[in-house]
Amino acid sequence: MLRIHFTPQDLARLHLASGPDPLWELVCTLHRLQTTQGRWAYADWHRGARATLVGTPLGAAVRRLLVPLLPRARYLPDFLTPAESADGLDRGLAAVVDTPPDRVAHELSLLRGSSGAPAWAARLVERPAREELAKVLRAYYDAVVAPHHDRIHAELTGERALRAHEVLATGVDGLLSGLSPAMRWCPPVLHVDYVEDRDLHLDGRGLRLVPTYFCWQSPVSMADPQLRPVLIYPLRYKRQPAPYAPPTPPSPRCWAGPGRRRCAASRPARPPRSWRAAWGSRPPPRPTTPRSCATPA
pLDDT in tens, 28-68: 999 999 998 888 989 999 999 999 999 999 999 999 999 99
Give the angle 209-211-217 at the CA atoms, nearest 5°: 110
Provide the whole-model pTM: 0.78
Give pLDDT, residue 217.
Answer: 85
Give pLDDT, residue 39.
Answer: 87
Check: CB of residue 156 under 8 Å from CB of residue 235. Answer: yes
Q: How far apart are CA 133 and CA 66, in angstroms?
A: 8
**128: cis peptide before it, omega within 30°?**
no
Q: How far apart are CA 146 and CA 84, in angstroms?
A: 18
Give pLDDT, residue 273.
Answer: 53
Give pLDDT, residue 17.
Answer: 94
The mean pLDDT of the chain is 84
Write the CB contacts of 69 (distance below 8 Å, at least 6 apart in sequence). Answer: 77, 80, 111, 117, 118, 121, 133
Write the CB contacts of 30 (distance below 8 Å, at least 6 apart in sequence). Answer: 62, 66, 67, 70, 72
Check: CB of residue 168 under 8 Å from CB of residue 207. Answer: no
Amino acid at 98: D
Going by C-alpha positions, the residue among 205, 113, 215, 91 that lies closest to residue 159 is 215
Give pLDDT, residue 276.
Answer: 46
Amino acid at 79: F
Q: How far apart are CA 222 and CA 232, in angstroms?
A: 9
The stretches in the chain having pLDDT less than 50 are: 238-245, 252-266, 274-279, 287-297
